[in-house]
Chain A
Amino acid sequence: MPSEGIIGVLNDLWIHYKDQTSLKLKLIDAYLGYIMVTGIIQFIYCCLVGTFPFNSFLSGFISTVGSFVLGVCLRIQSNPQNRSQFETISPERAFADFIFAHIVLHLVVMNFIG
């Protein structure tokens, strides 16, 4: 039956995720979840209140989106299963890139937030 199919697939996905992913990746995923929630809250707030200081809205929203993207990059590069694609990039290098990009992102956000 279809409903059972979809719920069954999601259930399987969740169980597989709980067992198979390492704690490190789950940590990154929790962090990404937090960023997404902040971003969604901001977007709903903007829809309700209007875009008055549009630059502030943009910079707040882009800060969440940018952090999310950088977090996803870190997760991809830290996953040992992807090691074959990232031969030249050690985990330390991935983390260093993550921090450097964050510095640039937050500099831009602070400038634009008005």
Chain B
Amino acid sequence: TRFPPHSTQRNKMESFKWVLVLLSLISASTGSKSGKKTLVLLENLSIKETHSVFFSDLISRDYQLVFKLADDSNLALSKYGEYLYDHLIIFAPSVEEFGGSVDMMALTDFVDHGGNILVAASSDVGDILRDFAMEIGIEPDERETAVIDHLNYDINDRGDHTLLVVDPSNLINAPLIVGKKTNIPILYQGLGLVADPDNPLVLEIMTGYTTSYSYSPTRSIEDYPHAVGKSTLLVAGLQARNNARVVFSGSIDLFSNEFFASPVQKSQVGSKEYQQNGNRALSEALTQWVFKEIGILKIGEVKHHLQGDNEPPAAYTVMDDVYYYIEIQELVEGMWVSFTASDVQLEFFRIDPFVRTFLNKTSDGKAYYAKFKLPDVYGVFQFKVDYRRLGYTHLFSATQMSVRPLEHTQYERFIDSAYPYYLSAFSMMIGVVLFSFVFLHFRDPNERKKKDN
């Protein structure tokens, strides 16, 4: 029996719909590769309201925020080995233990796999955040302490001089991390941090003044404060060797609506009042840096060949003239554009660098090149570009090639300074021939005389 024509058409429509649904699901799952899925762990749901401007700023930059309570028992950063989020915001200063499967190991594994974390603490900091900070080379002060500065507190401070007015000169000298230079101060109230002096990767994003120190505001000082002077960090960061970024702020109020809106004025007589403080701009710059919107470099094409050729030879020869070409791109507003610094260096490396030269921009400005002469040493060499700059990801490229010694026929045939030796050798030979002629045909005249006689 035959199916009636209209129902086969209906079957086709049904299957087409399912194909569409399947395709949209696939595209939705791959859409998250743009790297904006963020888990926000809150201490309590009111933080979502008190920091709503901060979160709406992030949402307007296309971040997909997932809000959860820090002790939610279903918390999981990864499932079946895959990470569910690209970034993590922890606005839960006083939490003692995270819920679900999130613990210190999970957080450090998250960073090890390239995830970025923004953490904000406060004077009411829990031990797990202090432990996590120690893992990344930052030592926060104990609970119930704050950064105190008797010369730089805001006019609205409640008497214990912990509401600080931070000049932009206390920020790290890196526009990639903290935004363009301004002279608008920043309001801060919270915990003091100290960087581990042995850790080379910690960044001191915002420091205190020489007059700042970190201690309990209610107790009189009996022992040496945890942090004193310029080594008191207010906001610290880290770019790990796998380029994952972490920012640890001692003040969750730095990001709050109240601080964003409040004017800032130092308490000293005659200080300038700023209607608008720099907190919102700073938090925008910090989130741009920590969530990898800015300061990301990648390498495009890498080529090397003899000057004048287009293809690399199987092996170079000693003293060849070589041309090296590399494309470096920077992520600017979501697009990869060619990088424009002028201090990228190339090393020609075999255990030690033999040649170290700056890379020049090509004539169309899209890539870098270098031209140099290979040294008079043979072996297996690498072209190394190893670029580390504050705020940028670590750029590394190594291309290996071999350099052979001269072939037997490539040496100079007659060396100018050796002509006397050639002359003498040949003259010896000619001398022997002449001498033996004369010697053989020699007739002793004395004997002749004797014979005649």
A interface residues, Cβ below 8 angstroms from B: 22-24, 27-28, 31, 34-35, 38-39, 41-42, 45, 49, 52-53, 56-57, 59-61, 63-64, 67, 95, 98-99, 102, 106, 109-110, 113-114
B: contact size bracket: 20 to 34
The answer to whether B428 touches A63, judged by C-beta atoms less than 8 angstroms apart, is: yes
A114: chain B residues at CB < 8 Å are 415, 418
| Given A22-B444, A28-B439: A42 touches B424 (CB 8 Å cut-off) | yes
Nearest CB of A to B8, in Å: 91
Shortest beta-carbon contacts, A-B, top 5 = A60-B421, A56-B418, A56-B421, A53-B418, A60-B424
Taken together as a complex, chains A and B put the C-alpha atoms of A28 and B438 apart, in Å, by 10
Q: Write the B423-445 contact mask toward A (1 if CB under 8 angstroms, else 0).
A: 01101110110011011101011
Find B428's partner among A27, A35, A53 (CB 8 Å cutoff): A35
B421 contacts which chain A residues (CB < 8 A)? Answer: 42, 53, 56-57, 59-61, 113
Interface-centre pick from A59, A110, A114 (highest chain B CB count, 10 A):
A114
| Nearest CB of A to B426, in Å | 9
Minimum distance in angstroms from A64 CB to a CB of chain B: 6
Seen from chain B, the residues whose Cβ lies within 8 Å of a Cβ on chain A are 415, 417-418, 420-422, 424-425, 427-429, 431-432, 435-436, 438-440, 442, 444-446
Interchain CA distance A45-B421 in the complex, whole Å: 9
Instruction: Report the Cα distance A35→B440, complex, angstroms.
Output: 19
A31→B431 contact, CB < 8 A: yes
Does the CB pair A35–B439 fall under 8 Å?
no
* Distance of A22 Cα from B425 Cα, bound (Å): 29
Contact between B436 and A60, CB atoms less than 8 A apart = no
Interchain CB contact under 8 A, B428 and A38: yes
Measured between beta carbons, the chain A residues less than 8 angstroms from B422 are 56, 60, 113
Contact flag A35-B431 (CB < 8 Å), given A57-B421, A59-B421, A63-B425: yes
Contacts of B435 in A (CB 8 A): 27, 31
A82 to B424: give the CA distance in the assembly, Å: 32
Q: Is B444's CB under 8 angstroms from A24's CB?
A: yes
Cβ distance A105 to chain B, nearest Cβ, rounded Å: 8
Distance in angstroms between the alpha carbons of A99 and B440 in the assembled complex: 12
The smallest beta-carbon distance between A46 and chain B, in angstroms, is 8
Q: Is the CB of B431 within 8 A of A34?
A: yes
Asked whether, in the complex, the Cβ of A59 is within 8 Å of the Cβ of B415, the reply is no
Please judge, given known A-B contacts A24-B444, A42-B424, A64-B424, whether A106 and B418 are in contact too, CB under 8 Å.
no
Which one of B415, B424, B425, B442 contacts A52 once the chains associate, using CB atoms below 8 Å?
B415
Give the CA-CA distance A28 to B436 in the complex, in Å.
10
Q: Which residue of A lies closest to B434 (CB)?
A: A31
* Interface pair B446/A23, CB less than 8 Å apart: yes
Chain B hits for A28, CB < 8 A: 439
- In the complex, A78→B5 CA distance in Å? 128
A59 partner residues in chain B, CB cutoff 8 A:
421, 425
B417 touches A53 (CB 8 A): yes
Which residues of chain A have C-beta atoms less than 8 A from B431's C-beta?
31, 34-35, 67
Alpha-carbon distance A109/B417, docked complex (angstroms): 17
A57 to B435 alpha-carbon distance, docked (Å): 24
A95/B420 contact (C-beta < 8 A), A67-B428, A110-B425 known: no
CB distance B427 to A38 under 8 Å? yes
Chain B residue numbers with a CB within 8 Å of A99 are: 432, 436
CB atoms of B425 and A113 under 8 A apart: yes
Given contact pairs A64-B424, A67-B432, A113-B425, a sample of 7 additional A-B residue pairs in the complex whose CB atoms are under 8 Å apart = A42-B424, A53-B417, A56-B422, A60-B424, A63-B425, A64-B428, A113-B418
A-B contact pairs, 10 of them (CB 8 A): A22-B446, A23-B445, A41-B424, A56-B415, A56-B418, A59-B425, A63-B425, A95-B439, A95-B440, A110-B425
A27–B428 CA distance with the chains assembled, in angstroms: 16
Shortest beta-carbon distance, A79 to chain B, in Å? Answer: 13
- Across-interface contacts of B438 in A (CB, < 8 A): 27
User: Do A109 and B425 form a contact, CB below 8 Å, given A22-B446, A34-B431, A67-B432?
Assistant: yes
Interchain CA distance A98-B19 in the complex, whole Å: 102
The listed residue with most A CB atoms (<10 A of its CB), out of B415, B429, B432, B438, is: B432
Residues of B within 8 A of A31 (CB): 431, 435
Q: Contact check, B446 vs A49: say whether CB atoms are below 8 A apart.
A: no
Task: Find chain A residues with CB under 8 A from B428 CB.
Answer: 35, 38, 63-64, 67, 106, 109
Residue of B whose beta carbon sits closest to that of A112: B425
Name B439's closest neighbour in chain A (CB-CB).
A27
Residue in B429, B436, B440, B446 whose CB lies within 8 Å of A106:
B429
CB <8 Å contact, B420 and A45: yes
Which residues of the partner chain B approach A23 to less than 8 Å between Cβ atoms?
442, 444-446
User: For residue A109, which residues in chain B have a CB less than 8 angstroms away from its CB?
Assistant: 425, 428
On chain A, the residues within 8 Å of B424 by CB distance are 38-39, 41-42, 60-61, 63-64
CB of A50 to closest CB in B, whole Å: 8
Residue of B nearest to A30 (CB): B435
